[in-house]
Chain A
């Protein structure tokens, strides 16, 4: 067991480190010119004041570097760059960085190395803590991303996004459940519950949307989209909560199957009671996870807005509402799944015996 663990661990380390070395040197894959910075000279420092009298330092820099790909490889060039203390939209460049260059302008940092670095740390820790089961969950994540990607692709071919997302969600649930716990009665009842929960959530949401017509929800955050935000909000909410729904479904259905295994004469009301007990444990966990991941996303915008003299109530009205909606819908989905799964699992396990 221990030898096997170390063996797989060393394979993972080798694969990941070669991947890291590759991404660090993959400049030839890019069409845009990439420059490696060799020298940075700050020419001038200027202090600006905004309307609220915040002093901001602007650094005017000359960036020297070498092109590392394409036709101009090894050419030395010199570019101008302006960075600021706050770095709201600029980056603080350092010697050794690789940046994209387009028409003598610095377009941005080459960041793919950090994506791979993050994934490497993630997989390594996942394997050390979760061992083989941890790796399995990575595989199911990979499958899910592939399905997700195909779905987006089909959407651009003109298929309705909501229909696509419903089908995708069911596929996600089937895949991750079968990979995590094999094909058995537990999985079956969990999959059934996920499907029925999705239907319930959609009905509930449609009713709420029909009655309130998104009043009080502001779509400023989605302003960059070229399609109407109302088309995308429901599918997005569904995808965002499907992971949590699947988890709740499998947890409840496996604990009900445990309970029935241990005592085959257990009454339905006793089952109901204990699944509510388990449900309330998961409920607080999941709800908290969703809460902080969603609400915190608004912090940078909040700071920028208030520091520009925006009032708090204005901000609350215009920006944070959508994140709150996301959180609320996700949590409602999770909690609705608890009684639905209980009901279906009892039907599946008791009906069969």
Chain B
């Protein structure tokens, strides 16, 4: 079934834009392969957080330079994504340590019951790695959207000052912000629906759901994806404005 769906997706992408469709599809395949390699590196016992950073860098590089081409826009985006990643990695580290969302919740015990739990890999760092990699897509895309829009604005109004250009970047950012919040929320709700039915059958109360590890792990993941977008908007606006005006 997945193969049929993948073919449909590919055809649709080509229909919208032939060249970009092919590039996008190829980049997805690449990204998938990279994820698998990174997953394997973690299995072999390398530090998951370093692996996650590496994965994020390669993935942003692919999305930015392969799909969007090498220019001042993508350069600014890459810089801002790296800054955001560093900020987020620190906050994710603190949050994961605090809330202890590592590992599997009570709800998945059946699914993992056939495995031995003595695997000698700290699941706290696995959680951090997971959150970092899952937010990279949203963050990179918000960043490239802003830097390209700012570039267009600058091309059409070369006389703009730093403050005005930065402000228009933030204005474009607001659009992206609402869009991303919506998209991510529903991705979360889709996953959450099955969980909700389970919670209902298990007679969980509202408060018990809030303390469930499965719920909180999903929730923190989605929230950090959104926060990544929020942070990247001002940072990209600043860096892009700065380097556009410096060029002049």
Choice from B32, B107, B115, B141 contacting A289 with Cβ under 8 Å = B141
Closest Cβ of chain A to B23, distance in Å, is 8
B28 at interface (Cβ–Cβ under 8 A)?
A: yes
A222 and B198 CA atoms in complex are apart in Å by: 10
- Number of A positions contacting B (CB below 8 A): 128
A140 and B177 CA atoms in complex are apart in Å by: 13
Closest Cβ of chain B to A332, distance in Å, is 5
B180 at interface (Cβ–Cβ under 8 A)?
A: yes
A247 and B186 CA atoms in complex are apart in Å by: 11
A29 at interface (Cβ–Cβ under 8 A)?
A: yes
B227 at interface (Cβ–Cβ under 8 A)?
A: yes
**Quick check: which of B74-82, B118-126, B155-163, B239-247 contacts chain A, the rest being far away?**
B118-126
B35 at interface (Cβ–Cβ under 8 A)?
A: yes
In A143-186, the 8 Å CB interface with B consists of: 144-145, 148, 152, 155-156, 172, 176, 180
Most chain A beta-carbon contacts within 10 A, residue among B1, B31, B111, B207: B1
Contact with A along B101-124 (1 / 0, CB 8 A): 111101111111001111111111
Choice from A84, A225, A288 contacting B118 with Cβ under 8 Å = A84
A89 and B100 CA atoms in complex are apart in Å by: 11
**Pairwise interchain contact A289-B184, C-beta atoms closer than 8 A:** yes
**Pairwise interchain contact B1-A293, C-beta atoms closer than 8 A:** no
A50 and B117 CA atoms in complex are apart in Å by: 8
A111 and B33 CA atoms in complex are apart in Å by: 35
Closest Cβ of chain A to B28, distance in Å, is 6
B90 at interface (Cβ–Cβ under 8 A)?
A: no
**Quick check: which of A11-19, A113-121, A263-271 contacts chain B, the rest being far away?**
A113-121
**Pairwise interchain contact B178-A137, C-beta atoms closer than 8 A:** yes
A220 at interface (Cβ–Cβ under 8 A)?
A: yes
**Pairwise interchain contact A112-B210, C-beta atoms closer than 8 A:** yes
- Number of B positions contacting A (CB below 8 A): 109
Compute the total of residue contacts between A and B using a CB distance below 8 Å.
349
**Pairwise interchain contact A301-B179, C-beta atoms closer than 8 A:** no
B6 at interface (Cβ–Cβ under 8 A)?
A: yes
**Pairwise interchain contact B43-A296, C-beta atoms closer than 8 A:** no
Chain B contact residues, majority secondary structure:
helix
* A239 and B8 contact, Cβ closer than 8 Å, known pairs A129-B234, A296-B35: no
**Pairwise interchain contact A29-B207, C-beta atoms closer than 8 A:** yes
List residues of chain B with CB within 8 A of the CB of A30. Answer: 207
Contact with B along A209-249 (1 / 0, CB 8 A): 10111111100111111110000100111111111101100
Choice from A129, A137, A216, A227 contacting B2 with Cβ under 8 Å = A216
**Pairwise interchain contact A247-B43, C-beta atoms closer than 8 A:** no
List residues of chain A with CB within 8 A of the CB of B101. Answer: 111
Choice from B127, B181, B196, B221 contacting A126 with Cβ under 8 Å = B181
List residues of chain A with CB within 8 A of the CB of B39. Answer: 299, 302-303
Choice from A87, A136, A211, A276 contacting B16 with Cβ under 8 Å = A276
Chain A residues proximal to chain B, CB less than 8 Å: 29-31, 48-51, 54-56, 84-92, 100, 108-112, 114-115, 118-119, 121-122, 125-126, 128-131, 133-134, 136-138, 140-141, 144-145, 148, 152, 155-156, 172, 176, 180, 204, 208-209, 211-217, 220-227, 232, 235-244, 246-247, 251, 276-277, 279-281, 283-297, 299-308, 321, 324-326, 328-332, 335-336, 338-339
Instruction: Give me the 6 closest cross-chain CB pairs, A-B, nearest first.
Output: A240-B190, A243-B186, A56-B118, A280-B17, A292-B137, A114-B99
**Interchain residue pairs with CB less than 8 A apart (15):** A50-B116, A56-B119, A86-B103, A87-B103, A92-B100, A109-B100, A115-B210, A224-B198, A239-B190, A251-B179, A285-B144, A291-B28, A332-B5, A335-B9, A335-B12
Known: A125-B231, A284-B63; 8 extra A-B contacts, CB below 8 A, are A86-B117, A118-B219, A126-B181, A134-B178, A208-B4, A237-B190, A301-B112, A304-B119
